[in-house]
Chain A
Amino acid sequence: MILPTPEEKKQWEEEGYLVFENAIQGKDLKRLQTAFDYWAEACKEEWLDSVEAGDSVATFYDIPNPLEKDPIFIDIIDYPSYYGALMAFTDHDLILLGPQVRTVAPWPVSYTGWHPDVGHDNPLHIKVQIYVNDVERGGGEFGFVPGSHKPDAGPYTRPTRQESMPGHKAFPGKAGTAIMFNSCGWHVSMDNHSDVPRKSIILIYEKRTPGRVGPEQYAAISAYCQTPERRKLFSLDG
């Protein structure tokens, strides 16, 4: 397990995010890209039908139940390059809430506005966004307001335009880049004015609280979770 350096810990505490360039690379990145593209294509028509029925959002889509579709989607949950930091920041008491294996279409407007996901009364809530393809500036890259995760930060209001958020930082990156952030912080998907869909995976974690995720949630993948660490991460033993 690769634990965070003192500098990384300091940045996490003060700014609320860390960037892991080349977090996933080589054969693993290729496996991830292949599985992503295969299942995105395989699930697309069903998603369009669901959009037409008013049951799914038109501006992005998530591959349903990805952990059951390819083991690479399980392997990235506790991937060594960022897993140590996740464990360190949650006192080695981490659970997975869920993955979003997401394709976001180029669109004149971003599909979401600036927001935090949770309030400060929530147990530590962390997301890791992994770029599956290269994401250029102006290509729907992740945006974050450093320091906005702190209880005394702000107040913040949502600007009409993504780029108008005071103090924000945008994070273009190469495929395989992982961005870890405290979900109390204000974040967004910047506008995608390119003609390239943004392919990314958003992994959602939280510091464990009893009963937060039931053992049935990930029962379907228990065969891939043989170590005590994984069983705990996926809440398989309650």
Chain B
Amino acid sequence: MPRIDAHLHVFTKASAEFPREISDVWPAEREEPAEKLLDEMEKHRIDQAVLVQMAGASIANHRYLLRCLEAYPNRFLGIGLVPDGHPNPADHMAALTDNTGIIGFRFSTFGGPRDIFAKMDVREFSAYPIWKCAAERDYVLWLYPNAINAHLLPYLIQEFPQVRVVLNHLAVCPGKGKFSWDAYGRPQIQVPGYNLTMHTTYRLARFENVNVHLSGQYAFSTEEFPYKDLAGWHRGLLTGFGAKRLMWATDFPWILEEPGYGKLTTVIEELLPDLSEAELADIMGGNAKRILRFPDL
């Protein structure tokens, strides 16, 4: 069974050929290319990976991702982005998925009522056309919902039960103003001690098309690797979703310096030590291969 890193990022220097947004963390001259990732994967016996677009949502911003997918078609699948407020998201998504290796798109908002007590008409959510398009074209939706959007998800999932959904990073829904970067250049998300997601995204386990990444531990934990304070979260997700709907990922490159790629390949064994060999193999790649339809090597 392949070992698949189900969520990470690669990018190259900003250029006319590969335009991208820049920030303090990914300045124009920084690069974390696919070849560097492949070296790490080789060292640690990881076979395939999902490359998730970052640093811009325009078609041009996706050029480097598309180049990587073209260069290594058996190793990578891609997840794209849609610009906020795009007038025709279906066209944008179609343009990026014509035999390119991009299999889906990442979102954090759904454009429905902020108040869960409001009348919910899913057809009025601004994300409705995107989900409809995903249902028609069999895209995967890669979701990292903002906290104020979490309650909207089951309405969309109910409406489109055929859409494969992957909740990113332990199904956490980050709060407004709770994001920062740490000294190692890693995203940090401040979360309450009480795990609020057990009352929102964990409850989506009922829907068989919903899957969850076991990743991003470094961003939520108050401890060093192996992030034992999150063991309960992992057990909760395993109990709710079962071993067939969980996918391990590293969130490369943010983790390269601390704790390092190699250590993260063991994080599931550390946090879920009672898994059977078959369950571990599923989480480490079998599920990603089946759910995301990775090609045979």
Contact = CB atoms under 8 A, between A and B. Distances in A.
Interface of A: 44, 48, 51-60, 103, 105, 107-113, 158, 160-161, 197
Interface stretch (B130-138, B169-177, B253-261, B270-278): B169-177
B115 A48 contact: yes
Contacts, number: 78
Contacts of A107: 116, 151, 154
B148 interface: yes
Interface string B154-193: 1100100000000000000111111000000000001110
Contact of B199 (A48, A60, A108): A60
Contacts of B115: 44, 48
Contact of A54 (B116, B117, B147, B151): B147
A160 B147 contact: no
26 contacts: A44-B117, A48-B114, A48-B148, A51-B147, A52-B175, A52-B176, A53-B176, A54-B147, A54-B173, A54-B175, A55-B192, A58-B148, A58-B199, A58-B200, A59-B200, A60-B199, A105-B151, A107-B116, A108-B154, A108-B155, A108-B158, A109-B203, A111-B203, A158-B240, A160-B205, A160-B240
Nearest to B119: A195
B150 A58 contact: yes
Q: Which 9 A-B pairs have the closest CB atoms?
A: A54-B175, A54-B147, A52-B148, A108-B154, A58-B151, A105-B116, A53-B175, A57-B199, A109-B203
Interface of B: 114-117, 146-148, 150-151, 154-155, 158, 173-178, 190-192, 196, 198-200, 203-206, 239-240
A233 to B, nearest CB: 26
B209 to A, nearest CB: 13
A58 B154 contact: no
A105 B177 CA distance: 25
Contacts of A112: 198-199, 203
A65 to B, nearest CB: 18
B200 A113 contact: no
Given A107-B154, A109-B206, A53 B199 contact: no
A47 to B, nearest CB: 10
Nearest to A59: B199
A108 to B, nearest CB: 4
B151 A113 contact: no
B196 A56 contact: yes
Contacts of A111: 199-200, 203
Contacts of B200: 57-59, 111
Contact of B240 (A48, A105, A113, A197): A113
A159 B198 CA distance: 15
Nearest to A162: B206
A108 B116 CA distance: 11
B116 A59 contact: yes
B74 to A, nearest CB: 35
Contacts of A56: 196
Contacts of B175: 52-55
Name, among A52, A58, A59, A105, the residue most crowded by chain B CB atoms within 10 Å (CB to CB). Answer: A58
A158 B239 contact: yes
Contacts of B240: 113, 158, 160
Contacts of B205: 160
A53 B150 CA distance: 12
